[in-house]
Amino acid sequence: MKAATGGMKLAVAAACALLNGCRASEFMVANLPNAFSRLQLHADLAYGSDRRQRLDIVAPRQGINRPVVIFWYGGSWTQGRKADYRFVGVALAKQGFVAVLPDYRLYPKVTFPMFDEDAARAVAWVQRHVSEYGGDPTHIVLMGHSAGGHTAAFFGLQSRILAPVWRRP
């Protein structure tokens, strides 16, 4: 009965966190079930010199030339961190993708378009190195949530920011 009670408490805590919006407790609960037995996590890989210019890769343990998804999180360019969205990387990797979760510098330290310039640097790094993690550098999908969704869409509309670093296959 104790195990069931503990599970019930966890379920209630998770429901409360989810009802309160995107908060740290929600991310903690979302990241709890991450089973890395079939996946590999490569954390804090530098794509630039700033401490916020780091990315995580979540990839299946087996396979080569897997499609790649780069996912940028939201947070109004003022908050957020890649570790909070590791559950997205796990979900993508479980479907066979190599998932890349970059951090980027935030306001007020930097202003627009520097967030997107960081993202372009991350894309360039991924193109150069993702094959070392089982990914196919010629099959990259850009994806994001909120401000991160803006970044992914921005590259489609303002390719001039991505063009200097983008390697054509």
Is position 134 within any domain?
yes
73 and 41 in a single domain? The answer is: yes
Model-level pTM greater than 0.85? no
48 and 18 in a single domain? The answer is: no
Q: pLDDT tens digits for 41-67?
A: 999 999 999 999 999 999 999 889 999
CA nearest to 67, candidates 133, 117, 162: 133
Q: pLDDT tens digits for 51-108?
A: 999 999 999 998 899 999 999 999 999 999 999 999 999 999 999 999 999 999 999 9
CATH number at residue 77: 3.40.50.1820
Is position 167 within any domain?
no
Domain count, the chain: 2
Q: Which residues contact 66 (CB under 8 A, 6 or more apart)?
A: 59, 60, 96, 97, 98, 134, 135, 136
Tell me which range, 4-8, 74-78, 159-163, is most confidently predicted by mean pLDDT. Answer: 74-78
Residue 20 has pLDDT above 50, yes or no: no
**Apex 158 CA angle, 156 and 160, nearest 5:** 115
Q: What is the DSSP letter of 32?
A: T
52 and 14 in a single domain? The answer is: no
24 and 46 in a single domain? The answer is: no
Per-residue pLDDT at 63: 84
Chain length of the chain: 169
23 and 41 in a single domain? The answer is: no
Alpha-carbon gap, residue 131 to 86, rounded angstroms: 20
Q: pLDDT tens digits for 105-143?
A: 999 999 988 988 899 999 999 999 999 999 999 999 999
Positive or negative, the Cα torsion across 22, 23, 28, 29? negative
3-state class (DSSP) for residue 116: helix
Per-residue pLDDT at 19: 44
Q: Residue 74: how many CB atoms within 10 A of its CB?
A: 17
90 and 104 in a single domain? The answer is: yes
Torsion angle, alpha carbons of 150, 31, 87, 129, to 10: 90
CA nearest to 70, candidates 22, 39, 116: 116
Is position 169 within any domain?
no
Residue 144 has pLDDT above 90, yes or no: yes
* 28 touches 86 (CB < 8 A): no
7 and 79 in a single domain? The answer is: no
* Domain membership of residue 111 as a residue range: 36-162
64 and 110 in a single domain? The answer is: yes
Distances (CA, A) of 57 to 16, 90, 113, 121: 30, 9, 24, 15
